[in-house]
Amino acid sequence: MADLELTIPCRTALNTTGLVVMWALWPVWALLAPLCIVATVIAVAISPIIFPPSLTLTLICLSASILALGILLTGLCEDDLIYVSKDGLSFPVSFLPRLRFRRHRLWSDLVEADLRQGPGTPPGSESSAALKLLFKSGGALSLPVGAFSRSDLEQLFLGIEMWGRDCTRSTNCIEYQRQLQNENKGIEKLSYTQLWEEELSRRYTNTLFVPLEPGSLLRSGQLKILRQLSFGGLSAIYLARWREKDSVVLKEAVVPAFASAQARRKAEEHFLREAEFLTRLKHERIAAVLDHFVEDGRNYLMLEYISGQDLRQYIGQNGPQSEERVLIWGKEIADILQYLHEQIPPIIHRDLTPDNLMLGRDGTISLIDFGAANELLSQSTGTLVGKQAYMAPEQLRGKATRQSDLYGLGATLYFLLTACDPVPLSVSHPRHVMADISPELDDLVALLTSFAESDRADSAKSVASTFEEISRRRESQSCAGVPGAASDGKETETGSAGEDGGDRGEGVPRRV
């Protein structure tokens, strides 16, 4: 999705049937028709008297028409690609009658997207489900869900979400997209019994925290909840619309009613302090905090909405990335961490994972989630947040430091290079999974994920410099035509670092 152009096959029953028929008739239009033309020409050349011009012309025109018609119909049946880009959608030629013969549609022309079931179909069945697209300038499409692969279908839904700003998506459409995303993330589909149990547990636990429903209004009706993005514990994240124009992300936090007055006051003071501090952050690659407020006893942060695709989704659909691209992304992430860590007092994110890094329309990385961010006020405070495979050992003990974010960066690099989550609480070596990864990049990942804080890089700034050095060295070797430039020509000399974080390649920063 970050490449801003998708090609999505849409194999409908009509396409499939037509293609089968045309291939069954292939001997007629692809063999007999050309043979008839050749035979007619030869016969005329041998006996022009027997074949008058009118008969000759008729046979040739008829055979040529059959051949041309066969090629045309086969091409129409094989044309099953939907092109999705930041500019709009382009559909197969066979869809033209339903689109009023306008093949390309701008995103501003898409006004509604809905997922509908066929008549008499049980709820949840996908056998006759169809994605309905309605266009403002006229025309409507019904795209059968079964005509797409699961990954292609998710990308189509994601494209509608990213670029169809004026498109109203139904609840069915949103829920189905969430289901597809969960499947791609490896979350198994729940049974109806589990869904009911989860819903009851969510709504009727003793915390009495019920997330806002789509359509709920806040800030005197200026802020409208569109859908829930995530939910857990006493917090939720929503996609919302501000003043009926701008998309924003709303983060909600609730102090439980059973908490003591002192605990409630402390929690609200902490939330207010963090909100005010984050509001002052100004970085082009960090989702800006636009506002913070309290309404109905709930605390809210309103953040900038950055359209794109998180790195977990992107890797799930595109697989491991090249070292060149990972070096660029790693430098951008390190720059973001450097900015946070150089604040006074420093800010530790504590949840740096592929899920919280967004690949934007321009191909650059942005940090989108500050749910775990906190001021580094002392070495003795901290809470357990983050995902296990990306959490440093000291963070599990509630002692997160700036080096904890560097551990998360190293674990994220491992995921980008291998498309696999790293083993929790271990030194990560992507080269053990992908043998063609260069030793210097493998060493850098191992350094960042060292078990002891003192063995990791000393700062995000030094890590950013290392990314630049590696990229510069690889570029100079490539220009010089040095063989094996990807591994700096030192694979035999340096090898891969061991689990104990031993000998490392050149250019990797150490703590002093």
pLDDT digits (tens, 9 = 90+) for 357-398: 999 888 899 998 765 444 443 333 334 455 778 989 888 777
pLDDT at residue 194, as a whole number: 44
Mean pLDDT of 273-297: 84
| Long-range contacts of 24-31, Cβ-Cβ distance < 8 Å, separation of 24 or more | 25/70, 26/70, 28/66, 28/70, 29/66, 29/67, 29/69, 29/70, 29/71, 30/67, 30/70
pLDDT in tens, 25-34: 888 888 888 8
The confidence score (pLDDT) of residue 338 equals 96
Residue 125 neighbours by CB under 8 Å, 6+ apart:
117
> Is 142 in a helix, a strand, or coil?
strand
Q: 10 Å Cβ neighbour count for 114?
A: 16
Residue 31 is given by DSSP the state I
Count CB atoms within 10 A of the CB of residue 30: 17
pLDDT for position 456: 95
* One fold for 192-304 and 308-494: no
Distance CA 254, CA 361 (A): 33
Topology of the domain covering 308-494 = Transferase(Phosphotransferase); domain 1 (1.10.510)
Instruction: Enumerate the H helices of 122-212 as residue ranges.
Output: 150-163, 171-184, 192-203
Q: Residue 459 and residue 402: Cα distance in Å, rounded? A: 8
Question: At a CB cut-off of 8 Å and minimum separation 6, what does 108 contact?
Answer: 136, 165, 166
- State the residue for tokens 């409507």: 140
Q: Nearest Cα to 432, choosing from 414, 450, 416, 449? A: 414
Q: Could you read off the pLDDT of 449-466 as tens digits, one per residue?
A: 999 999 999 999 999 999
The DSSP bridge pattern shows strands 104-106 and 88-90 to be antiparallel
H-run or E-run covering 289: strand 289-295
For residue 122, cis peptide bond before it (omega within 30 degrees of 0) = no
pLDDT at 417: 97
In 22-109 the beta strands, taken as DSSP E runs, fall at 81-85, 88-90, 104-106
pLDDT band, residue 81 (cuts 50/70/90): confident
Q: What is the mean pLDDT of the chain?
A: 78
Residue 73 has pLDDT above 90, yes or no: no
Query: 3-state SS of the chain: helix, strand, coil percent to 5?
Result: 45, 20, 35
Cross-strand bridge partners of residue 5: 85
Residue 365 pLDDT: 95
Task: For residues 396-416, give the mean pLDDT.
Answer: 92
Asked if pLDDT for residue 39 goes beyond 60, the answer is: yes
pLDDT digits (tens, 9 = 90+) for 104-144: 999 889 989 998 875 544 444 556 788 999 998 888 888 88
Q: Could you tell me which residues are beta bridge partners of residue 105?
A: 89
DSSP state of 51: S
CB 189 within 8 A of CB 219: no
Report the C-alpha gap between 480 and 461 in whole angstroms.
29
Confidence of residue 222 (pLDDT cuts 50, 70, 90): very high
Domain residue ranges of the chain, discontinuous segments joined by +: 1-177, 192-304, 308-494
pLDDT tens-digit profile of 234-266?
Answer: 678 888 999 988 889 888 877 766 667 777 777
5-19, 189-203, 380-394: range with highest mean pLDDT: 5-19
Rounded mean pLDDT of 300-324? 89
Question: What CATH homologous superfamily does 192-304 map to?
Answer: Phosphorylase Kinase; domain 1 (3.30.200.20)
Distances (CA, A) of 505 to 73, 255, 427, 436, 446: 60, 49, 16, 16, 11
Residues 6+ apart with CB under 8 A from 14: 94
Task: Examine the pLDDT at 334 and tell me if it is beyond 80.
Answer: yes
In sequence order, the 6+-apart residues with CB closer than 8 A to the CB of 135 are 99, 105, 109, 110, 111
- Contact present, 320 and 441 (Cβ < 8 Å): no
- Predicted confidence at residue 259, as pLDDT, reads 64
Backbone angles phi, psi at 294, to 5 degrees: -120, 130
DSSP 99-135: GTT--EEEGGGEEEEEEEPPTTPPTT--SS-EEEEEE
Confidence class of residue 299 from pLDDT cuts 50, 70 and 90? confident
Query: For a pLDDT cut of 70, what percent of the chain falls above it?
Result: 79
Who has greater pLDDT, 382 or 294? Answer: 294
Per-residue pLDDT band at 232 (split at 50, 70, 90): low
**Bigger pLDDT: 282 or 493?**
282
